[in-house]
């Protein structure tokens, strides 16, 4: 399965700096030639092996594979931010 691994820190999304590893994989409904949208799975392992987050996101099928993976990460961050904000309410 095609994937990209990125090292990042949560930064402004949450309070404090938590090291994390993010893996983006094409889901079962990945990019289909001619389709307008593509589904990707974004998996993040946080500071230890016991804390993780997995999201399925739908993004535009435009651009090359690397740009779609970056779009998938951006969409997952957006959804995580919405979850965080709504969970506080």
Q: Would you list the domain boundaries of the chain? A: 3-10+17-88
Q: How many CB atoms lie within 10 A of CB 85?
A: 9
* Residue-wise pLDDT tens digits, 24-55: 766 655 667 778 888 888 888 777 667 888 88
Measure the CA–CA gap between 54 and 66, rounded to whole angstroms.
19
Q: What is the pLDDT of residue 16?
A: 52
pLDDT for 8 beyond 80: no
* Residue-wise pLDDT tens digits, 48-80: 667 888 889 999 988 888 888 899 989 998 998
Average pLDDT, the chain: 74
């Amino acid at each position: 399965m095609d994937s990209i691994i990125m090292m990042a820190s949560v930064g402004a999304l949450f309070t404090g700096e938590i090291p994390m590893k993010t893996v983006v994989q094409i889901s079962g409904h990945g990019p289909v030639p001619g389709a307008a949208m593509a589904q990707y799975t974004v998996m993040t392992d946080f500071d230890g092996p016991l804390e993780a987050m997995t999201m399925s996101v739908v993004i535009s099928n435009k651009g090359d594979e690397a740009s779609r993976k970056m779009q998938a990460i951006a969409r997952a961050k957006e959804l995580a931010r919405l979850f965080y904000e709504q969970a506080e309410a």
